[in-house]
Chain A
Amino acid sequence: GPKVLQIPSHQIIDMGQMVTLNCDPVSNHLYFYWYKQILGQQMEFLVNFYNGKVMEKSKLFKDQFSVERPDGSYFTLKIQPTALEDSAVYFCASSPRTGGAEVFFGKGTRLTVV
Chain B
Amino acid sequence: QQQVRQSPQSLTVWEGETAILNCSYEDSTFDYFPWYHQFPGESPALLIAIRPVSNKKEDGRFTIFFNKREKKFSLHIADSQPGDSATYFCAASDSAGNKLTFGIGTRVLVRP
How many A-B pairs have beta carbons closer than 8 Å: the answer is 59
Q: Does A99 contact B (CB under 8 A)?
A: yes
Q: Are A107 and B103 in contact (CB under 8 A)?
A: no
Instruction: Determine chain A's interface SS by DSSP, over half rule.
Output: loop
Instruction: Decide: A98 and B97 in contact? CB cutoff 8 A.
Output: yes
- Which one, A42-50, A64-72, A77-85, is touching chain B? A42-50
> Which of B32, B97, B99, B101 has the most chain A CB atoms closer than 10 A to its own CB?
B99
On chain B, the residues within 8 Å of A105 by CB distance are 36, 43-45
Contact B51 A100 (CB under 8 A): yes
Contact partners of A4 in chain B: CB under 8 A: 43
Most buried by A among B42, B98, B102: B98
Interchain CA distance A106-B41 in the complex, whole Å? 10
By beta carbon, the residue of chain A nearest B3 is: A42
Of residues 94 to 109 in A, which have CB atoms within 8 Å of B's CB atoms?
98-108
Total residues of chain A contacting the partner, CB 8 A: 27
Q: Evaluate contact between A48 and B98: CB separation under 8 angstroms.
A: yes
Interface pairs (18), CB distance under 8 Å = A3-B43, A4-B43, A33-B99, A35-B100, A41-B104, A42-B4, A42-B89, A42-B102, A42-B105, A45-B99, A55-B98, A56-B99, A58-B99, A98-B97, A100-B32, A102-B46, A106-B43, A107-B42
| B interface bracket (residues with beta carbon within 8 Å of A) | 20 to 34
Closest residue to A108 on the B side, CB-wise?
B43
User: Which A residues lie within 8 Å of B41 (CB)?
Assistant: 107
* A3 CA to B99 CA, complexed, in Å: 19
Give Cα A58 to B2, complex, Å: 14
